């Protein structure tokens, strides 16, 4: 047999032995088999995404004229700041906001443009624009707390009008 054929057979035998020994070995502790590494994990919403979705659902109660739904987002010890003063607790906040739900058309809307969450994962800030007739008239800041039943509820809310700046 020619020498190059012997070398080729030796190389094939060595590779086969190596593959056979690897096939029976177990992965090191803490490592996943290759199939586990390349599989996509199902999407689990991040805490930021949860708070964003909660704020959007809260805003939808105004658009849908759902006063009872609005109240369900309030923490029992929430504090809201408004033009009429500071409201403390669900009853005062509900009394102050209920007239805003009387008409068929919402007097304003809001939409978040930023959400931040503490590393503890149980307190968050959402902030965004307040709109009247599609025009930005203010900004809001809401603080959300993760409460019993893994439910986000608003604990602080304050809106501010955007000041018109004179043209230069």
Model pLDDT for residues 66-96, shown as the tens digit of each residue? 999 999 999 999 999 998 899 999 999 999 9
| pLDDT average, residue stretch 3-21 | 39
Residue 121 falls in which region: left (phi positive, over 0), alpha (psi -120 to 50) or beta:
left
Q: With 70 as the cut, is the pLDDT of residue 141 above it?
A: yes
Q: 47-161, what's its fold? A: Nuclear Transport Factor 2; Chain: A, (3.10.450)
> What was the pLDDT predicted at 122?
96
Mean pLDDT of 132-148: 97
Of 157 and 21, the one with more pLDDT: 157
For the chain, give every domain's residue range. Answer: 47-161
pLDDT at position 84, please?
86
Q: Is the dihedral of CA 107, 75, 113, 162 positive or negative?
A: positive
In the prediction, which pLDDT does 24 show? Answer: 46
Do 93 and 80 form a contact (C-beta atoms < 8 A)? yes
- Residue 117 near residue 54, CB atoms below 8 Å: no
Rounded to whole angstroms, the Cα distance separating 20 from 126 reads 57
pLDDT at 4: 39
Q: In Å, what is the CA distance from 60 to each residue of 55, 70, 99, 148?
A: 9, 9, 17, 23
Answer yes or no: is pLDDT of 121 > 80.
yes
Q: Which pLDDT does position 104 carry in this prediction?
A: 96
Put simply, whether the predicted model's pTM sits higher than 0.75 gets the answer: no
């Amino acid at each position: 047999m020619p020498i190059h054929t012997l070398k080729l057979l030796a190389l094939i035998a060595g590779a086969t032995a190596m593959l056979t020994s690897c096939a029976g070995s177990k992965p090191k502790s803490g490592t996943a088999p290759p199939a586990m590494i390349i599989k996509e994990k199902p999407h689990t919403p991040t805490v930021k995404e949860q708070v964003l979705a909660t704020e959007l659902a809260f805003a939808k109660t105004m658009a849908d004229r759902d006063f009872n739904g609005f109240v369900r987002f309030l923490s029992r010890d929430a504090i809201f700041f408004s033009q009429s003063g500071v409201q403390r607790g669900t009853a005062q906040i509900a009394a102050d906001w209920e007239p805003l739900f009387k008409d068929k058309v919402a007097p304003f809307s809001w939409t978040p443009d930023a959400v931040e969450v503490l590393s503890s994962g149980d307190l968050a800030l959402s902030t965004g624009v307040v709109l009247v007739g599609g025009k930005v008239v203010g900004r809001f800041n809401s603080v959300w707390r993760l409460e019993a039943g893994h439910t986000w509820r608003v604990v602080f809310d304050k809106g501010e009008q955007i000041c018109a700046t004179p043209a230069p």
